[in-house]
Each structure stands twice: as structure tokens, then as C-alpha cells.
Amino acid sequence: MLRLYTAGDLPEAHLVVQLLERVGIAAQVFNEHAQGGLGEIPFTHTWPEVWVIEDADLPRAQQVLDAWQRMPSAPSRRCHDCGEENPGTFETCWRCGRPLAP
């Protein structure tokens, strides 16, 4: 397993994982529940990280990430079911999995 990306926040980390899964790359978010640990660990260590499960997928995952970072960001969308803020490119809510209304 290799670390691909340190995200600024949790929705961003989940967005990257969704992008990777769309092209068949298995990935996982770490530090998902570390937000409460501020004070004991340096702040940057609590940022959510995206890890690629298969080491061999890393170069391809990096390409997906690069392409995504060059895209203009879409306005975020709020989930009608749980109220969570989702990046505009999401089709389903990262928290509850319900489809997002356009």
C-alpha cells in the first residue's frame, strides 16, 4: 500500500477515492476519524490521506489525481438526506451514499 495524496479535508479525500474507483483502482482514506486528535499530534498528521491498495496502481492513480487537480472545481452540493457538503463532481453523497440531486 502506498500513500497517494494528503487531502485538505475529508470530502476531498473521498472524492479522490471515488475518482480512482471509477477507473478500477482500489484506494482507501486514512485519518478519517483523526479530527478529534488535535493537540496531541501535529496538525498535519490529522489530515485525511488517500492510499492506493496495490503499489502497482500508483503511477496510474497519480495520473488520475493530476488530471483532477487541473480541472476547474465545480460548486459543492449539499446532501438532502444527511446535510453533508459534497464536492460538485460527486454523484453520490460520500457520507450516506444517497444520490445527490443535480
Using rule CB under 5 A, residue 21 touches Zn ion = no
19/22 Cα distance (integer angstroms): 5
Count of CB atoms within 10 A of residue 16's CB? 24
DSSP states of 13-46:
HHHHHHHHHHTT--EEEESTTGGGGBTTB-GGGG
* Least distance in angstroms from the C-beta of 23 to Zn ion: 24
Taking CB under 5 A as the criterion, which residues in 29-88 touch Zn ion? 79, 81-82, 84
Please say whether the beta carbons of 31 and 48 come within 8 A: yes
Which is closer to Zn ion, CB of 9 or CB of 81?
Answer: 81
* Least distance in angstroms from the C-beta of 51 to Zn ion: 24
* Least distance in angstroms from the C-beta of 78 to Zn ion: 9
Which is closer to Zn ion, CB of 64 or CB of 86?
Answer: 86
Contact set with Zn ion (CB under 5 A) = 79, 81-82, 84, 93, 95-96
